[in-house]
């Protein structure tokens, strides 16, 4: 099935958002709302200054601007790029170091920064502290092995390379050309950073709607559709410079009588994604309840009528629920610890079938998801990487 990426402007509660919505047929897979004129700092690279070290957290707070401290876990530090280093082998107050925003602020938590700088292209990601060569596990095994044999990068310990899923449909020449571009960009940043003043922004990330376009699996993308002329021009310019092969997918929607968001019922789907209850086709439903510490998802049989084969019936509901749980995690951008209370099943074979179905369903998520295990109380533990704010936080 082919996907469509909608990029449009929405007015919600007198706030204009740039909405980026990924659809598979008429099913909304993921959505992101970016306040117009308020670009996120996610991905930006700064010269930060260490404000203080908090030993009991094993963390530092690094300011990227006066009065804007960011959380930095010390266990992640490997080979940071210092601009100014006070005479100490450890990270100390007053050190000036190059950091990248790895996670947006949320609720009472400040942004999180990393010294493992990531420069992202369509096919590759260059990493400054993780110096290994990795290939996306979302590719099939044969393609991964082929790329291992074909792609030969410089052997050095200055940076690492992650080959992205999009590389599966690219030529060796295209991938290596992007590698050279990312390498030169990193070396230039490394050479010039020591001459920049504290709080300088060394690299500004592209708008979130362009980041989504960069990150989406292009082999599964059929069209990029927008009804806003300004956005169309920005997207066209970006595609022509960085993804010329995909420029033909860009479509300008011109039906003024039937706006783009109405054609795809975007506002309706947004309202659904903000509700606690999610109905399943079987008549069962999910209850999704975020808390401060974790998100709890309860699977209920609801209106579903059981026949004599009760355990088979429960398995059917649970398998449907597993696919919907995976979609809701992605749609609502839920992250951290997620606990799912599926309907209890007696058969260990049914439980394993459910776990495998859930693992398969989360595999297509653009954000790393790990299905950890099923506890003795038959609760399924999931973790999903925190990057952006949840959908609820974006609109409230």
**Residue 307: is its pLDDT beyond 80?**
no
pLDDT of residue 9: 94
pLDDT of residue 155: 61
d(Cα 17, Cα 112) in Å, to the nearest integer? Answer: 24
Please measure the distance between the N-terminal and C-terminal CA atoms of the chain and give it in whole angstroms.
33
Q: Mind giving me the DSSP string for 133-178?
A: EEE-TTS-HHHHHHHHHH------SS-EEEE-GGGGGS-HHHHHHH
Identify the weakest region by mean pLDDT among 102-111, 221-230, 256-265: 102-111
Identify the weakest region by mean pLDDT among 47-51, 96-100, 374-378: 374-378
Q: Mind giving me the DSSP string for 183-238?
A: HHHHHHHHHHGGGSPTT-EEEPPPPHHHHHHHHS-GGGEEEEEE--HHHHHHHHHH
pLDDT of residue 308: 55
Residue 220 pLDDT grade (very low, low, confident, very high; cuts 50, 70, 90) = confident
Label residues 8-42 b or e (16+ Cβ within 10 Å = b): bbbeeeeeebbbbbbbeeeebbbbbbbebeeebbb
DSSP state of 369: E
Say which residue, 155 or 393, is predicted with more confidence. 393
Using one digit for the tens of pLDDT, what is the confidence trace for 242-293?
899 899 999 999 988 889 999 999 999 999 999 999 999 988 999 999 988 8
132 closest CA partner among 158, 168, 114: 158
Q: Mind giving me the DSSP string for 1-23?
A: --EEEEEEEEEETTEEEEEEEEE
102 closest CA partner among 116, 120, 122: 116
Helix (H, G, I), strand (E, B) or coil at 249: helix
298 closest CA partner among 272, 273, 277: 277
Length in residues, the chain: 396
**Residue 137: is its pLDDT beyond 90?**
no
**Residue 303: is its pLDDT beyond 70?**
no
**Residue 185: is its pLDDT beyond 90?**
yes
Summary mean pLDDT of the chain: 91
The reported pTM is 0.87
Q: Which long-range contacts (CB under 8 A, 24 or more apart) does 306-312 make?
A: 311/345, 311/346, 311/347, 311/350
Residue 47 pLDDT grade (very low, low, confident, very high; cuts 50, 70, 90) = very high
Average pLDDT over residues 314-339: 95
């Amino acid at each position: 099935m082919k996907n469509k990426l909608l990029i449009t402007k929405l007015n919600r509660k007198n706030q204009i958002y740039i909405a980026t919505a990924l659809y598979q047929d008429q099913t909304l897979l993921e959505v992101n709302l970016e306040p117009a004129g308020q670009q996120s700092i996610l991905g930006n690279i700064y010269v930060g200054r260490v404000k203080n070290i908090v030993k009991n957290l094993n963390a530092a707070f690094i300011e990227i601007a006066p009065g804007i401290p960011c959380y930095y876990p010390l266990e992640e530090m490997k080979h940071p790029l210092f601009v100014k280093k006070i005479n100490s082998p450890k990270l100390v107050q007053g050190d000036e170091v190059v950091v990248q925003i790895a996670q947006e602020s949320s609720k009472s938590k400040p942004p999180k920064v990393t010294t493992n700088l990531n420069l992202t292209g369509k096919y590759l990601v260059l990493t400054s502290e993780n110096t290994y060569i990795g290939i996306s596990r979302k590719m099939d095994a044969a393609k991964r092995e082929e790329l291992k044999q074909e792609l030969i990068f410089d052997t050095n310990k200055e940076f690492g390379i992650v080959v992205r899923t999009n590389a599966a449909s690219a030529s060796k020449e295209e991938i290596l050309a992007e590698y050279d571009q990312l390498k030169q960009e990193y070396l230039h940043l490394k050479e010039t950073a020591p001459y920049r003043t504290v709080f300088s922004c060394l690299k500004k990330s592209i708008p979130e709607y362009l980041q989504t376009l960069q990150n989406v699996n292009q082999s599964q993308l059929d069209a990029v559709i927008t009804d806003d002329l300004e956005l169309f021009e920005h997207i066209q310019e970006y595609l022509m410079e960085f993804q010329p092969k995909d420029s033909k997918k860009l479509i300008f929607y011109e039906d003024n009588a039937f706006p783009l968001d109405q054609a795809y019922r975007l506002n309706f789907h947004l309202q659904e994604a903000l509700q606690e209850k999610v109905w399943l086709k079987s008549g069962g439903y999910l209850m999704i309840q975020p808390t401060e510490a974790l998100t709890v998802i309860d699977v209920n049989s609801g209106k579903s009528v059981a026949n004599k084969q009760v355990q088979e019936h429960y398995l059917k509901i649970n398998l449907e629920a597993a696919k919907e749980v995976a979609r809701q995690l992605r749609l609502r951008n839920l992250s951290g610890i997620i606990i799912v209370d599926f309907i209890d099943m007696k058969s260990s074979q049914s439980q394993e079938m459910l776990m495998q179905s859930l693992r398969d369903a989360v595999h297509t998520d653009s954000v790393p998801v790990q299905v950890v295990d099923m506890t003795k109380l038959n609760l399924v533990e999931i973790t999903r990487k925190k990057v952006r704010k949840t959908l609820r936080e974006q609109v409230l």
